[in-house]
Amino acid sequence: DGGITQSPKYLFRKEGQNVTLSCEQNLNHDAMYWYRQDPGQGLRLIYYSQIVNDFQKGDIAEGYSVSREKKESFPLTVTSAQKNPTAFYLCASTEDGVVSGNTIYFGEGSWLTVV
Amino acid sequence: KQEVTQIPAALSVPEGENLVLNCSFTDSAIYNLQWFRQDPGKGLTSLLLIQSSQREQTSGRLNASLDKSSGRSTLYIAASQPGDSATYLCAALFGSNYKLTFGKGTLLTVNP
């Protein structure tokens, strides 16, 4: 079945550590996105990538980094510079850019907790 | 500032009732609007996508409408079932920045 796989589902980070969340899709989609969701809040865009080897900052990119070396993979690194990283992280993809109006597909999410 | 608002934040109804969820947006230059379902601790599942040129979309017991002039969209759920219990989010794609802007969602509980 085609879809988006995020791992790990649950992750604990110590103060000062960098952690990387994995996102893999087998939908052959060009565009991929990372969102952050806090309890009772809407989704906020962290980074997005319209094509391999290219990515753009979203609304809350500070303290995060990404790479897009392969079409199917878009890992997100939460760095120690992110002061409040505890949240639910969602990866998503579209066939091409969101501007095309295509349906957006989401992974099952990753919970990150700072301990 | 472009914003999407969903009221109420939570709604509880008895099984079998027809219900309407509301979504309002501040910018009429909307490209499209999507409705999503989110189960607790899960990702989002797209339910319906309405392009700016359309007035409504239907899928099974779900019907979504779009009124750009009033800045509103509604999601109508017919004959609600306990399995419909979830958080429903709407998201607007505004033509000026081509980024999806999400509402905070409405938590729906359908009681048996």
**DSSP codes joined into one string, B25-37:** ES-S-EEEEEEEE
Q: Which pLDDT does position B43 carry in this prediction?
A: 93
> Model confidence at B97, in pLDDT bands (50, 70, 90)?
low
DSSP A38-80: -TT--EEEEEEEEETTEEEE-TT-TTEEE--SBTTB--EEE-T
Dihedral sign of CA atoms A13, A19, A25, A28 in order:
positive
Q: Say how far residue B57 (Cα) sits from the centre of its chain.
A: 12
Please answer yes or no on whether A97 and B45 come within 8 Å at the CB atom.
Answer: no
Residues 6+ apart with CB under 8 A from A50: A30, A31, A56, A96, A97
DSSP B70-83: TTEEEEEE-S--GG
From B31's Cα to the closest Cα of chain A, the distance in A is 8
Q: Which pLDDT does position B13 carry in this prediction?
A: 97
Q: Which pLDDT does position A99 carry in this prediction?
A: 66
CA distance A62 to A81: 8
> Model confidence at A82, in pLDDT bands (50, 70, 90)?
confident
Length of chain A as a residue count:
115
Q: Which pLDDT does position A39 carry in this prediction?
A: 85
Residues of B in Cβ contact (< 8 Å) with A58: 99
- Is the pLDDT higher at A99 or at A68? A68
Q: Which residue has the tokens 């501007």?
A: A99
Token duo for residue B9? 């934040």
Rg (CA), chain B: 13
Instruction: Count Cα neighbours of A45 within 13 Å in the Cβ-side half-sphere.
Output: 22
Interface size A-B, in CB pairs within 8 Å, comes to 57
Q: What is the pLDDT of residues B54-96, one digit of tens each?
A: 999 999 999 999 999 999 999 999 999 999 999 999 999 887 6
B26 and chain A in contact, CB less than 8 A: no
